[in-house]
Amino acid sequence: MDLSDSLEDLLDKHLLHLIWLRRRIKLSWAAAEELLWQSEAALDDPENFFLGKRRCYLMQTRLRGNYLLLQLCGWNCVIYHKQFENKKYEALKPTSAEFWSFLGAYVAAAEGALEEPFPCGMGLRVPVPQGSTVIVDNNGLCNFDALPVQEMCKMIITLLDRLPPTDDFGP
């Protein structure tokens, strides 16, 4: 088997399934890849698996942004705010140091003891904290980087508190 055979095999088995899932169920690339991976792990047809887990994939409109941010947290190190190379979801595994640091970050922010590094330089737009004097855009959002440290801590707590409980993720 030469390189072209293995590449062709990969394209036939993986890419065509992803394209089919995207067109058939109207999913994003990331969602189609996740669905394909989960259905293969469950030894089930992706479409049947999707219908069985529909509630997990068809989120309520008002929560979609939160779920997207939560998903992207797993693709990026919550400590250094850089994307993992070939290690998606590594930061959300209970055995990872980033997972425990993330849990500690909430408590530290709540107690006002959270220290650097903050997720600065990422272009995050957040709701304006009460009593803040930062510049607000037309959508009522402000630049996270422009907030003082205490307001950054409050905003981290506010945004994490807005995430729904994990019981709401599944059936």
Residue 44, amino acid: D
| Final residue of a structural domain among 32, 58, 84 | 58
Q: Note whether 29 and 80 are same-domain residues.
A: no
Q: Tell whether 169 is covered by a domain.
A: no
pLDDT in tens, 33-47: 877 777 777 777 777
Q: Tell whether 106 is covered by a domain.
A: yes
Mean pLDDT estimate for the chain: 69
Kindly report the pTM of this predicted structure: 0.41
Domain count, the chain: 2
Residue 41, amino acid: A
Q: Tell whether 171 is covered by a domain.
A: no
| Final residue of a structural domain among 37, 58, 79 | 58
| Final residue of a structural domain among 15, 39, 58 | 58
Q: Note whether 70 and 38 are same-domain residues.
A: no
Residue 55: pLDDT band with limits 50, 70, 90? low
Average pLDDT for 105-118: 74
> pLDDT at position 82, please?
52
Residue 61: pLDDT band with limits 50, 70, 90? very low
Q: Tell whether 168 is covered by a domain.
A: no
Domain of 129, in residue numbers: 65-163
> What is the percent of the chain where pLDDT is above 90?
0
Q: Which helix (H) or strand (E) holds 102?
A: helix 97-110
Taking CA atoms, 130 is separated from 104, 109, 134, in Å, by 24, 17, 11
Of 15-19, 36-40, 102-106, 138-142, where does the model show the most confidence?
138-142
Q: Note whether 143 and 71 are same-domain residues.
A: yes
Task: State yes or no: pLDDT of 54 exceeds 80.
Answer: no
- Give me the residues paired with residue 143 across strands: 125
